[in-house]
Chain A
């Protein structure tokens, strides 16, 4: 079965996101893989919302340009997205709203009439549309009924029945009037059990699995769903979630908890991160572990809050006044988000310094199906390593910032009888007391810097390489969430006989100059692909390793890359 893309659009406030997620879940439960994406303005009501789901028998990591089924709950949906229709696409519409005029197939479903006849509310339009969609795809409507029962059960049997009735009407309308358009896209198939996860969901899951016990945050798109997910899990898991008054308080709450010995994390986007930066430097000098989840959106300033960009990489890498060690990781998809979040908490404890996990709206809010056994095995494989965290010193003297060859001193959890120390934001002596002494200063700077060398030797991972760079005509170099669209484009190019490769960076900073050189040779044609306008990773790579990549493919209109854009770039450049 060919992959297909289903897209629904309508006015904000009409349940588009819930409907979209339900579609992703049903397709996944029917044995398919999905990747989805939401488009919404920074508004609660009014404005245009859309949700699209790519469904495949294989793992999918990005979208495709062609829309195969476009479900229009209003005219805007058609006008905004008709450029992506082809002659075989099916448009579902209500002729009371508009009449489509393009070269494609159409199915008229009288949403408004059905609603009026059965006394429904306009928000139930999406339920009719869902029933109609399932009919077109030859899917099992009972699965939708199950979900409606879960969703509306609390509101009473009457509401459940009303919704079921609307779903059935949409379903029947297609089966009675458009039999020729029905294709067996969603026939149940056997596959492993899969979860439908966003990057944010993956971070939340992994944070719990990593034994993070305090999460502090201030709502900011696109990081906010972690705050609500973890807040909802407090009772089950025991994590404490604090929605603090601002991001400065957010990070300092987490640092207070971290000092006391528990794993702590914060989550935000660029603007909130900007407020945290002073305290990031504090964590660096006082050597307090902290995990910072930074989900990027287009800036500067308020920017485009609900859209996507990779515009904060250099900001994250350079965040904080003064010089201190910092680790920046950038997962490429939900699977890697779990893996690297688990690792981030270990690294924060081992190196007693800030670890930033980078995401962006595209990774944070798009769902991907991930086999539950993959999640379980990632969690199982993770050992919680707290490095040199101790509950009682061995000798009689304890020095919090003792000089050690690896740069890491034992960190005593406060409470041990007969001991005390201070975590100091001032430069300090080995015992923690404030220091302005030249020798102590140099020793402590060297000690903190040594952590970077220790990390590079012990925990830095080279980028993952996909394809064979030796034989590839073009080698993409990218980072974080660009992985999905590039891998999808590579598959399409391969079908055309064009071999390409990808060097996918996840361990963004610090970079190991020596170990990266052999990945880059003079003779290869490298293309740096980034979702920003400054080619920020290109600059970072040049700054840290001297490797200078000239050719770039950049996108910075707030939208993610389409695999076709990468495909077309290669086709016109080989």
Chain B
């Protein structure tokens, strides 16, 4: 049985009270409860306060560039589909710099789990607005308030073909663990968007803010109902935050649809192709 401590590396450097502490602890607990160990999974970290978890969490990992974790994760999964692949990223990272990658990763139903720290700001660069910030949010880069409306990650993921779309809250450890475990267990693209207060730079979206405006999806919620999922996701446009799995469906993931998919042997395990004469013939 793996222990949570097996995943513990350096002591985190996050600000006291930061939502990342909870998310970091939930991720480790989820992995341990899933029976994973640091040698059995691949994690791709983005750049930001979230990505800094690279030094606090043990695993085979890439600490990628800002915005580029998802294509790294896709490539990793294609090369070795036997390893669970998890991307740990931020909202600016995933929905801003890497926005294009995000929607195409959803489309492809790549079998990766994307855990987004959604705090509405760029913490590591000391507090500019993120694409998830509410319209009008004032920050160092938008002193008169941001002009654009928010990116709504759940709606975006749903409309682009993600097959597992969930949201959780950094103040609810038990819920986060449950969502992450289900996300990692889901075969196909899974998004776990975690609402995360940034105690240093975001004075609007606080713990109190989310406690007042979030709610857990009822037990009888039908997560296979796509239209229901869409209408539930749209509540975020009005500052109402559903928590739970909004949508889940079973569809073959990208790597299983690749022409030469072999369940038993991943790409790195196969014997090399040696019949080069066959290819030369095409040119004669």
Contacts and interface: CB of A to CB of B under 8 A. Distances in A.
Interface of A: 28-29, 193-197, 201, 205, 208-209, 211, 213-214, 216, 233-240, 242, 244-246, 248-262, 264, 278-279, 282, 286, 372, 375-376, 379, 384, 413-426, 433-434
Interface stretch (B61-69, B202-210, B234-242): B61-69
Contact of B71 (A197, A235, A248): A248
Contact of B284 (A193, A245, A258, A379): A193
A197 B283 contact: yes
Contacts of A195: 280, 283-284
B258 A375 contact: no
B259 A234 contact: yes
28 contacts: A193-B284, A195-B283, A196-B283, A196-B284, A214-B267, A236-B278, A237-B279, A238-B270, A238-B273, A249-B71, A250-B71, A253-B78, A256-B73, A256-B76, A257-B78, A282-B65, A282-B68, A286-B62, A414-B80, A415-B83, A420-B38, A420-B39, A420-B58, A423-B63, A424-B62, A424-B63, A434-B52, A434-B54
Contact of B75 (A246, A264, A423): A264
A425 B64 contact: yes
Nearest to A233: B279
Contacts of B54: 422, 424, 426, 434
A241 B76 CA distance: 14
Nearest to B71: A252
Contacts of A245: 100-101, 104
Interface string B75-93: 1111110010000000000
A260 B276 contact: no
A414 B63 contact: no
A415 B37 CA distance: 11
A530 B144 CA distance: 54
Determine the main DSSP class of A at the interface with B. Answer: mixed
Contacts of B284: 28-29, 193-196, 372
B267 A256 contact: no
B11 interface: no
B268 A413 contact: yes
B256 interface: no
Interface of B: 9-10, 38-40, 42, 44-45, 47, 52, 54-55, 58-65, 67-68, 70-80, 83, 100-101, 104, 258-260, 267-268, 270, 272-273, 275-280, 283-284
Contacts of A425: 47, 62-65
A311 to B, nearest CB: 27
A320 to B, nearest CB: 12
Contacts of A419: 39
Given A196-B283, A208-B273, A255-B72, A235 B79 contact: no
A237 B273 contact: yes
Contacts of A208: 273, 276, 279
A426 to B, nearest CB: 6
A242 B71 CA distance: 11
A425 B58 CA distance: 16
A255 B70 CA distance: 11
Contacts of B65: 252, 278-279, 282, 425
A205 B273 contact: no
A262 B268 contact: yes
A105 to B, nearest CB: 33
B50 to A, nearest CB: 14
Contacts of A264: 75, 79
Contacts of A197: 283
Interchain residue pairs A-B with the least CB separation, the first 9: A256-B75, A252-B71, A260-B79, A414-B60, A195-B283, A256-B72, A253-B75, A257-B79, A257-B75
B268 A376 contact: no
Nearest to B81: A260
Given A258-B75, A425-B47, A420 B276 contact: no
